[in-house]
Structure 1
Amino acid sequence: MTAADDDADTKPHYHGHRARLRTRFLESGGAGIPDYEILELILFGVFRNGDVKPLAKALIAECGSLGAVLSAAPERLMKVPGCGEAVIAALKVTREAGLRLLKEDAMQRPAISNWQALLDYCRAALQHEGVEQFRILFLDRKNQIIADEAQQRGTVDHTPVYPREVVKRALELNAAALILVHNHPSGDPTPSRADVEMTRQVRQAASVMGIELHDHLIVGRKGHVSLREKGLI
């Protein structure tokens, strides 16, 4: 056996993997790279050496998908051996950067003429949330988004919404229109009877003050539903 052969035998099985994965990612722009390898690339910044593939695959196994990993509560991530504060920070920074990019795209043009970008942002922000979150997009007279605010966080199947508080905040911002957005942690975005009734209450309260309710979007892992498209507004 030569010295070169002996040296090759002592190298870990993942020797050169990081460089190869980075090169493959840069050359492909990420196309065709599986979720666990995207996680590996993120984890390279946390662990300077060693094989991070087992941790990446364990995170996917625990949460189900890359998006679910990035959106998971820290308490859930901590269940995975090897996932500590530094890993969680890296995952959350990655998610926040992606959300800010989508939000920037959504806010560049009037919401009504930029609907797909708005949907992409809302789905990325809410589809993996473990509890219901109710958000409001406040628009000016040109339908430009002037504020995006989380109004309430509820339980796994209920979020209290108070039409008077929604309208009060719209008046404070001098908003001319609203888009309501909330998620269904069950994954099914089908509106409930309570969703429909609450939407009608908000619409009625807003119309008294000359504020238009454009839509109410319900987001789930299985897609989204527009109450306006369903004829429920």
Structure 2
Amino acid sequence: MHNIPVNLSDSAIEDLLLVGARAVTAKGTLVCNEVRAPYKASPERRAAALSGLLQCANELLRRQAFKNLHKVVMNTPDEVANYLQIHFRGYEVEAFVVVFLNAQSALIAVEEMFRGTLTQTSVYPREIVKRALALNAGAVILAHNHPSGLAEPSRADEYLTSTLKTALGMVDVRVLDHFIVAQTACTSFAQRGLL
């Protein structure tokens, strides 16, 4: 998960990476200066500093992928899959994300709607329909991760996709795809003919 504050600017994160001397906690406080003088720091402090730097780098990568997603969201499903793999990197529990698109398939928003446990998450179609209407979305791309490592859809995943497609269809919102994301793989329902 992201343990750095998402309200830090890109330049603030870049500064942390360039200086290479601080790690950031979830509360946004600087916790160590041990990367510069690692011989003085305990192994725990060095690990925290390096972990913070890696989290900063991942956050910048996630932001850049989101910027790229704005440009080519529907031109290449691979671009969406790449973004989603970056988005879900490091997640230890299942989460459900919805990519909201306008009637011309341009990106409106990417939102994590639900979060669960290691093996499942509860998804509420009503909440997705409400959010799609609030954003005036014309289409959505659904996505969730499988922290266990297999990007294969289960029967429950197929049923959920069908239920969401029906519910969203009632308010004229198209479901363009549903991606399942694992650490090294990403499966598209549309490419498998499961929509």
TM-score by length of 1: 0.65
Larger Rg, first or second structure (1 or 2): 1
Aligned residues: 166
Residue aligning to 1:108: 71
1:142 aligns with one of 96, 100, 104: 104
Q: Pick one of 204, 212, 216 that aligns with 2:166.
A: 204
Name the CA distance, whole Å, in 1 between partners of 2:159 and 2:38: 55
Aligned identity (percent) is: 33
Long gaps (5+) in structure 2: 1-16, 23-34
Pair 1:218-2:166 in alignment:
no
**Displacement, 1:50?**
4.5
Verify: 1:48 aligned to 2:36, yes or no: yes
- Aligned to 1:175, which of 126, 130, 137? 137
SS where residue 96 of structure 2 aligns? Answer: strand
Retained in 2: the 8 A contact 1:43–1:90? no
Which of the pair has the greater relative contact order for Cα pairs under 8 Å at 6+ separation? 2
The amino acid that maps onto 1:45 is A
Aligned mates of 2:153, 2:111 — CA distance in 1:
21
Q: Considering fraction of residues, name the structure with more helix.
A: 1
Distance 2:18 2:154 in 1: 38
The alpha-carbon deviation at position 112 of structure 1 amounts to 1.6
Name the residue aligned to 2:12: none
The 1-side partners of 2:82 and 2:168 are apart by 26
Deviation track 1:17-55 (CA, whole Å, cap 9, x = no partner) reads xxxxxxxxxxxxxxxxxxxxxxxx87943422346xxx9
Give 1:90 deviation, angstroms: 2.5
Give the structure 2 partner of residue 126 of structure 1: 88
- Deviation at 1:144? 0.7
Residues 47-105 of structure 1: CA deviation (Å, up to 9, x unaligned):
22346xxx9xxxxxxxxxxxxxxxxxxxxxxxx63346544432222111111011111
Where does structure 1 lack aligned partners over 5 or more consecutive residues?
Answer: 1-40, 56-79
What are the superposed Cα offsets for residues 116-161 of structure 1, whole Å, 9 maximum, x if unpaired? 2221110111143110010000000110110100001100010101
Going by fraction, where is strand more abundant, 1 or 2? 2
| TM-align CA RMSD | 2.3
SS of corresponding position for 2:175: strand
1:157 to 2:87 alignment = no
Tell me the distance in 2 between the aligned counterparts of 1:50 and 1:232: 52
Kept after mapping to 1: 8 A contact 2:20/2:53: no
Separation in 1, partners of 2:90, 2:157 = 19
Does the 8 Å CA contact 1:128/1:220 hold for their aligned counterparts?
no
TM normalised by structure 2 equals: 0.77
AA in 2 matched with 1:124 = I
User: Could you tell me how far 1:219 is from its partner in structure 2?
Assistant: 0.3
Q: CA deviation at 1:220?
A: 0.4
> CA separation in 2, counterparts of 1:43 and 1:157?
38
Paired AA for residue 140 in structure 1: N
State the distance in 1 between where 2:37 and 2:163 align: 57
C-alpha distance in 2 between matches for 1:113 and 1:171: 24
